Amino acid sequence: MSLVLVDHERQMVVCSGVGNISTALITGTATRNVPSQNGTLGAVLPHIQEYTYPIEPHSTLLMFSDGLTSKCSIAGYPGLQNRHPQLIAGLLYRDFGRGRDDATVLYAPLGVGT
């Protein structure tokens, strides 16, 4: 499970995660991976850690479950970030899906400068 709070007023995102959900903040060609604590929901959980990041102009949030490979990225697709978020999520699902597990992909512009 991962939780991301987008605070538009303070121009910050607050992230916290446990388990196999990958979260990244993408700005231009730079990607910042958000750490997730090891653990399993419904079992013993570690101390939950919260991470806060500024929202940069043209930032985008990418989240995906372990049904996609950890190499999931838009870096190999020049100009893709200018397309519709649903198209981007579908392409990532198609190209990075493991095929043996369910998968969820979220690709969402954070609204500053977009």
**Nearest-angstrom CA–CA distance, 29 and 20:** 24
pLDDT, one tens digit per residue, over 21-69 is 999 999 877 899 998 887 777 777 767 889 999 998 889 999 999 999 9
Predicted local distance difference test score (pLDDT) of residue 46: 67
pLDDT, one tens digit per residue, over 2-31 is 999 999 999 999 999 888 899 999 987 789
The amino acid that residue 55 corresponds to is: I
Q: Are 72 and 106 in contact (CB under 8 A)?
A: no
Q: What are the structural domains, with CATH classification, of the chain?
A: 2-109 (3.60.40.10)
pLDDT, one tens digit per residue, over 82-110 is 899 999 999 999 999 998 888 999 999 99
Q: What's the predicted TM-score (pTM) here?
A: 0.88
First to last CA, the chain: 27
DSSP H/E element including 102: none
Sort 55 into a burial class: Cβ within 10 Å, 0-12 / 13-18 / 19+: buried
Nearest to 16 by CA among 37, 33, 40, 31: 37
Cα 4–Cα 72–Cα 107 angle in degrees, nearest 5: 40
Predicted local distance difference test score (pLDDT) of residue 110: 92
What secondary structure letter does DSSP report for 82? Answer: G
